[in-house]
């Protein structure tokens, strides 16, 4: 499990200065949780920070570093093995402080070299050969299940290595694609069944944080470790933009292309696309809704997407629509500037240049801006359709109620609000997202979906599902 930003913490555009400085790094983080100790004057010190200029050491209890000569030799040790030495100057010490700063007293100290030597010393220490910890807390049934998943993958890998790998370097692009698609199709049902089986085993622990933690780390150690050899599993798990569900991950799902460097990694990527199928059916659901919007009552339809990401449904809608009469104004709201740039460009590329009555604009801000009393959203006209897919899944029930009420206020009479949220059904994405990918969401029940609309006075509220039965769609219609 890793530390990632929660959606409520993502700010969007903010004034920020540009400042470059000598960054001091936390020693635990810098040495991947295995920092060396520092030996100075025969005393062992824990290292708190490391930088290009020196180290900050923690002074052990009952050790005084006042009145110590400034010039010393410092040795770094990993589990008792000395691997680096360097002359240092001790900074003057006040008796009350618990830390000691030492500055390197030679040129050319390279932090990468220190990190590398520390890793090499770690490799010969006992930590590297520690016995595997037996995870008693994980039920045997779940362990067998994870073994079955690995067995399935190993089977497919062997098949690929025997039959495809010898030829893959000579495949044309079409051959590469047709092989990947063939492997995807022949695994579709079996992989879906495995994922559904995973849901059934972990759903009973949904409300038990302790059990979830153990099951998750077991899954990550075994199953995730193998699956991240495929690109979309890898990006979804490691979250290089610092938060889950960035627009590139979403685009992997929508593009549905065999990405990867060899047949097996492309195959794993395709399995990820199977697991992520509900992301696509949710987008298709909204896209169909966009088509139904034009009932001939307006000359301009106002549509807003909150947490729009790449807004592929807008792109798809514009690609498929040829009428020139009515106009559309799309307002895309997202905290990610790159996502908005992508979405706006893609939308305009799908438009015939003659369609000057379509406007696609982005608001680079957080949805929390909407909740402020003097919000910039007060200048936006009332909307025919507001939708949000893949955003409220991250928000607490209370925050969902507040946001839904606010979005409802922004609707025209007769307008509709659509909210897509992953559900807790056995054919959903719970196991693959929460357990394999550490992609934590509120997997909601139907009642929890209705609860979001609790503050929408006079609304006609219903809950529908996507084609895969994995995503609930809350529909809130304002009386005309
Ligand atoms: C899972 S993606 C869904 C994107 C798109 N709706 C779709 O279904 O393809 C969630 C999106 O919400 C955006 N997001 C996250 N936190 C946000 C916030 N506080 N305000 C606005 N957008 C946010 C992310 O940048 C990301 O593009």
CATH of the domain at 324: 3.40.50.150
Write the pLDDT tens digit of every residue in 392-441: 999 999 999 999 999 999 999 999 999 999 999 999 999 999 999 999 99
Q: Is 393 in the pocket of ligand 1 (CB under 6 A)?
A: no
Q: What is the pLDDT of residue 402?
A: 97
Residue (of 382, 346, 379, 344) closest to 364 by Cα position: 344
Q: What is the pLDDT of residue 419?
A: 98
Q: Is 336 in the pocket of ligand 1 (CB under 6 A)?
A: yes
Percent over 70 (pLDDT), the chain: 94
107 & 180 share domain: no
Q: Would residue 102 count as lying in a domain? A: yes
377 & 435 share domain: yes
Give the Cα separation of 406 and 411 in Å (integer). 9
Q: Is 244 in the pocket of ligand 1 (CB under 6 A)?
A: no
Is the pLDDT at 480 greater than 50? The verdict is yes
Full residue range of the structural domain in which residue 206 is found: 140-275
Last-in-domain residue among 275, 306, 328 = 275
Q: What is the pLDDT of residue 202?
A: 97
Tell me the helices (H) and strands (E) count for the chain, helix number first. Answer: 16, 14
The whole-number average pLDDT for the span 164-175 is 95
Do 55 and 49 form a contact (C-beta atoms < 8 A)?
yes
Is the pLDDT at 282 greater than 90? The verdict is yes
Give the Cα separation of 414 and 436 in Å (integer). 42
Give the Cα separation of 366 and 336 in Å (integer). 9
CA distances from 106 to 18, 22, 251, 351 (A): 30, 18, 50, 63
Q: Is 366 in the pocket of ligand 1 (CB under 6 A)?
A: yes
Q: What is the pLDDT of residue 17?
A: 47
Q: Is 334 in the pocket of ligand 1 (CB under 6 A)?
A: yes
Residue 115 belongs to domain with CATH number:
2.40.10
240 & 348 share domain: no
Q: Would residue 283 count as lying in a domain? A: no
Return the beta strands (E) in 230-382 as ranges.
300-306, 327-334, 358-364
* Distance from Cα 393 to the centre of ligand 1, integer Å: 10
Average pLDDT, the chain: 92
Write the pLDDT tens digit of every residue in 199-210: 999 999 999 999
8-state DSSP, 420: E
Give me the number of domains the chain comprises: 3
392 & 332 share domain: yes
Cβ count within 10 A of residue 353? 6
Give the pLDDT band (50/70/90) at residue 144. very high
The residue whose C-alpha atom lies closest to atom 8 belonging to ligand 1 is 389
Q: Would residue 6 count as lying in a domain? A: no
Is the pLDDT at 1 greater than 80? The verdict is no
260 & 299 share domain: no
Last-in-domain residue among 210, 244, 275 = 275
Give the Cα separation of 232 and 102 in Å (integer). 44
Q: Is 268 in the pocket of ligand 1 (CB under 6 A)?
A: no
Q: What is the pLDDT of residue 170?
A: 94
Last-in-domain residue among 74, 104, 129 = 129
- Helix, strand or coil, per DSSP, at residue 427: coil
Write the pLDDT tens digit of every residue in 226-252: 999 999 999 999 999 999 999 999 999
180 & 251 share domain: yes
367 & 299 share domain: yes
Q: Would residue 204 count as lying in a domain? A: yes
Q: Would residue 105 count as lying in a domain? A: yes
Q: Would residue 1 count as lying in a domain? A: no
Do 45 and 4 form a contact (C-beta atoms < 8 A)?
no
Q: At what angle do helices 247-255 and 312-320 cross, to 10 degrees?
A: 40
**In DSSP terms, which residues pair with 333 in a beta bridge?**
306, 363
Q: Would residue 20 count as lying in a domain? A: no
Atom of ligand 1 nearest to the CA of 250: 9
């Amino acid at each position: 499990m890793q530390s990632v930003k929660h959606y409520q913490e993502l700010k969007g555009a903010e004034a920020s200065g540009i400042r470059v400085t000598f960054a001091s790094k936390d020693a635990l983080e810098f040495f991947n949780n295995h920092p060396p100790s520092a030996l100075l004057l025969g005393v062992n010190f824990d290292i708190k920070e490391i930088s290009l200029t020196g180290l900050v050491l923690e002074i052990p209890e009952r050790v005084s570093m006042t009145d110590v000569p400034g010039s010393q030799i410092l040795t770094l040790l990993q589990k008792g093995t000395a691997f680096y030495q360097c002359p240092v100057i001790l900074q003057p010490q006040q008796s009350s402080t618990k830390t000691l700063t030492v500055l390197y007293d030679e040129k050319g100290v390279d932090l990468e070299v220190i990190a590398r030597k520390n890793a090499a010393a770690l490799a010969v220490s006992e930590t590297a050969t520690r016995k595997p910890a037996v995870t008693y807390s994980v039920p045997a049934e779940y362990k067998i299940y994870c073994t079955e998943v690995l067995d399935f993958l190993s089977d497919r890998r062997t098949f690929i290595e025997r039959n495809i790998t010898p030829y893959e370097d000579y495949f044309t692009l079409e051959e590469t694609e047709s092989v990947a698609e063939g492997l995807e199709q022949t695994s579709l049902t079996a992989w879906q069944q495995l994922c559904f089986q995973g849901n059934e085993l972990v759903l009973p622990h949904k409300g038990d944080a302790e059990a979830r933690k153990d099951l998750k780390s077991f899954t990550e150690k075994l199953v995730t470790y193998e699956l991240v050899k495929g690109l979309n599993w890898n990006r979804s798990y490691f979250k290089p933009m610092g938060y889950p569900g960035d627009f590139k991950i979403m685009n992997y799902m929508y593009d549905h292309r065999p990405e990867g460097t060899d047949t097996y990694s492309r195959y794993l990527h395709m399995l990820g696309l199977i697991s992520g199928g509900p992301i696509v059916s949710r987008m298709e659901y909204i896209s169909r809704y966009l088509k139904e919007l034009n009932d001939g009552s307006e000359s301009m339809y106002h549509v807003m997407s909150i947490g729009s990401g790449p807004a592929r449904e807008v792109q798809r809608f514009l690609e498929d629509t040829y009428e020139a009469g009515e106009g559309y104004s799309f307002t895309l709201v997202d905290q990610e500037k790159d996502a908005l740039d992508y979405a706006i460009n893609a939308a305009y590329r799908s438009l015939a240049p003659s369609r000057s009555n379509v406007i696609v604009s982005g608001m680079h801000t957080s949805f929390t801006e909407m909740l402020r009393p003097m919000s910039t959203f007060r200048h936006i006209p009332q909307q025919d359709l507001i939708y949000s897919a893949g955003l409220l899944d991250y928000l607490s029930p209370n925050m969902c109620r507040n946001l839904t009420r606010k979005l409802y206020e922004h609707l025209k009479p007769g307008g509709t609000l659509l909210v897509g949220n992953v559900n807790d059904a056995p054919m959903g994405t719970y196991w693959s997202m929460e357990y394999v990918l550490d992609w934590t969401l509120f997997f909601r029940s139907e009642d929890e979906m209705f609860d979001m609309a609790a503050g929408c006075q006079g609304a006609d509220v219903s809950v529908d599902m996507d084609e895969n039965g994995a995503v609930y769609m809350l529909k809130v219609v304002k009386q005309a």
